[in-house]
Amino acid sequence: MNRLKRYKPSRRTVLKWTHGAMMPLFVWFLLVTPDMVVPLGGHWFALHSNLALVFVSICLLCTVGLMRRGLASRPGPKLQGWARKVHRPLHLAIIWGLFVVALGGFLLGLTSAVQLKAGLWLPIAPPMGWQRANEVVGRLHIYQFYLLGVVILLHAAFHIWRHFRLRDNALRIMAPKVLHRFL
């Protein structure tokens, strides 16, 4: 039985998979809205809804991971001055921003007049029918998502800058080994 130990991935491996899953999902939700998929039919709306459920689940898992163990990364030794000061707040802004986006989705379900379901099967919240609050929450949800998009672009630019300017392999740390030869 000792030779058959269960495989538990390292925190870095989980972080790589999380990044790999979140990047295309985030781009999907930046480009594709529910208003765009509804006219395409039920299968597209179901896909969009299921992707949203996966996205929100990862967001909440990231928040739980932060609360339990803190940030997974520290500034590298080559990171000095302003860049060292920006590192932690930038990562925290993303994780808490993801949580706020998930919370906004919950509030949309709560203020809705109808029962909204994530993935078309999981009830989000009991609908309270607060039309004006639903409109306000809907607008805030959109703004917070695109603001988070700006923060994520800053995050990507920061790590690309680190990788090429400081040559600290910031991108290789998070990229799968298959991509290392291109970095």
179: closest CA among 59, 23, 9? 23
**Beta strands 122-123 and 117-118, pairing class:** antiparallel
Q: What is the pLDDT of residues 106-121, one digit of tens each?
A: 999 999 999 999 999 9
Task: With beta carbons less than 8 A apart as the criterion, state whether 22 and 58 touch.
Answer: yes
pTM of the entire predicted model: 0.89
Complete DSSP assignment for the chain: -GGGPPP---HHHHHHHHHHHHHHHHHHHHH--HHHHGGG-HHHHHHHHHHHHHHHHHHHHHHHHHHHH--S----TT--HHHHHHHHHHHHHHHHHHHHHHHHHHHHHHH-SS--EETTTEE-S-----HHHHHHHHHHHHHHHHHHHHHHHHHHHHHHHIIIII---HHHHHS-GGGGGG-
Q: Domain map of the chain by residue range?
A: 10-71+90-178
Give the other-Cβ count within 10 Å of 148's Cβ: 19
Full pLDDT tens readout for the chain, 183 residues: 555 567 888 888 889 999 999 999 999 999 999 999 999 999 999 999 999 999 999 999 999 999 999 998 888 889 999 999 999 999 999 999 999 999 999 999 999 999 999 999 999 999 999 999 999 999 999 999 999 999 999 999 999 999 999 999 888 888 878 888 888
Residue 128 contacts residue 110 (beta carbons within 8 Å): yes
Interhelix angle 42-69/11-31, rounded to 10 degrees, is 140
123 φ/ψ angles, rounded to the nearest 5 degrees: -60, 130
Contact assessment for residue 101 and residue 141, using Cβ atoms and an 8 Å cutoff: yes
Query: What integer pLDDT is reported at residue 139 of this predicted model?
Result: 97
Return the pLDDT at 89. 96
Task: Give the per-residue pLDDT at 3.
Answer: 57
Q: What is the structure's pLDDT at 182?
A: 86
